[in-house]
Amino acid sequence: MTERTRVERSFRGISERLARHYLTNLGGERVDDETVAGEDWTASLSSETVGIGPSLTLTEVTVVFEGDPDALDGLIEDFAQKAMRAGG
């Protein structure tokens, strides 16, 4: 049986829709609203609104990546670069 790894990462300031878009651009196919699957990986999405300070809120998307460890290494790094937001 092939080894599978599970990695959970949270990203602030993006929507689930945008996260799905990034994952499909990285080789995945949308399974449903919460899941995108690639050849050797699956990503499950969830989101919540989180408070930042006394009056500011942001959307925080949590992505649970599961799959072949070699496939996940590059995928998570590439996704994190796309999801990174610069202030402005």
66 touches 4 (CB < 8 A): yes
Amino acid at 84: M
Q: What is the pTM of this model?
A: 0.88
H/E segment holding residue 38? none
| Tens digit of each residue's pLDDT (9 = 90 or more) over 36-85 | 999 999 999 999 998 888 888 888 999 999 999 999 999 999 999 998 86
The confidence band for 87, taking pLDDT boundaries of 50, 70 and 90, is very low
- pLDDT at 1 (0 to 100): 53
How far is 61 from 3, CA to CA, in rounded Å? 26
Q: Is residue 13 scored above 90 in pLDDT?
A: no
- pLDDT at 88 (0 to 100): 38
Structure-block tokens of residue 8: 């959970």
- The domain segmentation of the chain, as residue ranges, is 6-49+61-87
Considering the domain 6-49+61-87, what is its CATH architecture?
Answer: 2-Layer Sandwich (3.30)
Structure-block tokens of residue 71: 């496939």
